[in-house]
């Protein structure tokens, strides 16, 4: 951070404005987004092993929606809502998915 040719930013805290250098981590910080519980996402990257539901199925909290193969385990992805209907299935068996990829949309 000691490079002389870095760009100063104006950093505001409690209504005071400070001229200062940013860190790499500060510049690369992730923007936060509220999680939509109706979108069921992969909590770990892996391969879709088996899909247990079909479009239009009614599901309740804890029902297994699909199995995600990751870390040498068949991990269960379950319904997070008390009661819901499967609106859309965005993956098929054997698909490789990344972390936080939307797998199923509920309504």
Partner 1 sequence: MFNFAFQNQKQEHMSIQQKSEDLKKRMQAALQGGGTKAIEKQISMGKMTARERILALLDPESFHEYDLFVEHAGKDFDMDKKYLPGDGVVTGTGTINGYPVCIFAQDFTVAGGSLGYMHAKKITKIMDHAMKLGVPLIGINDSGGARIQEGVNSLAGYGEIFWRNTMASGVIPQISVILGPCAGGAVYSPALTDFVFVVENISKMFITGPEVIKTVLGEEISMEDLGGAKVHAQITGNAHFYAETELECFAQIKKLLEYIPWNNRRKALPFPPKAPKTNQYKIENIFPADPQKPYDIRNIIKAIVDGSEFFEVMELFAPNIVIGFARMNGETVGIVANQPLVLAGVLDCDSSDKAARFVRFCDAFNIPILTFVDLPGYLPGIDQEHAGVIRHGAKLLYAYSEATVPKITVILRKAYGGGYIAMASSHLRADFVFAWPTAEIAVMGPEGAANIIFRNEIMNAENPEEVRRQKVAEYREKFANPYVAAAYGHIDAVIDPNSTRKFIIHALSISANKSVQTPKKKHGIPPF
Binding residues for partner 1, rule: CB under 8 A, are 1-2, 8, 11, 13-26, 29-30, 32, 45-46, 70-71, 96, 98-99
Least distance CB 107 / partner 1 (angstroms) = 28
Dig out the tokens for 92 from the structure: 């098929």
Is the CB of 30 or the CB of 82 nearer to partner 1? 30
Minimum CB separation of residue 81 from partner 1 in Å reads 23
- Chain centroid, CA 7 distance in Å: 33
* 56 CB-near residues (< 8 Å, 6+ apart): 85, 86
């Amino acid at each position: 951070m000691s490079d002389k040719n870095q760009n100063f930013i104006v950093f505001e805290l409690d209504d005071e404005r400070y001229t200062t250098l940013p860190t790499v981590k500060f510049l690369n910080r992730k923007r936060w987004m509220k999680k939509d519980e109706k979108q069921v996402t992969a909590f770990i990257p892996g391969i879709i092993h088996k899909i247990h539901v079909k479009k239009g199925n009614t599901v309740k909290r804890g029902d297994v929606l699909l199995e995600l193969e990751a870390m040498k385990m068949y991990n269960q992805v379950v319904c997070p809502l008390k009661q819901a209907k499967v609106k859309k299935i965005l993956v098929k068996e054997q698909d490789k998915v990344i972390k936080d990829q939307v797998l199923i949309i509920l309504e």
